[in-house]
Amino acid sequence: MIDFDIVARLAWNRYHR
């Protein structure tokens, strides 16, 4: 199981552009 917390944060940052 990957760290969803990290993935979600990275995705959020990318979408927060």
Query: What is the distance between the alpha carbons of residues 1 and 7, in angstroms, rounded to a whole number?
Result: 11
Per-residue pLDDT of 1-10, as tens digits, reads 778 999 999 9
DSSP 9: H
Which phi and psi (to 5°) does residue 3 adopt? -70, 95
Quick one: tokens of 16?
A: 């927060």
Q: Quick one: pLDDT at residue 6?
A: 94
Q: Quick one: pLDDT at residue 5?
A: 92
Quick one: tokens of 9?
A: 């944060």
Average pLDDT over residues 7-16: 90
Q: Quick one: pLDDT at residue 10?
A: 94
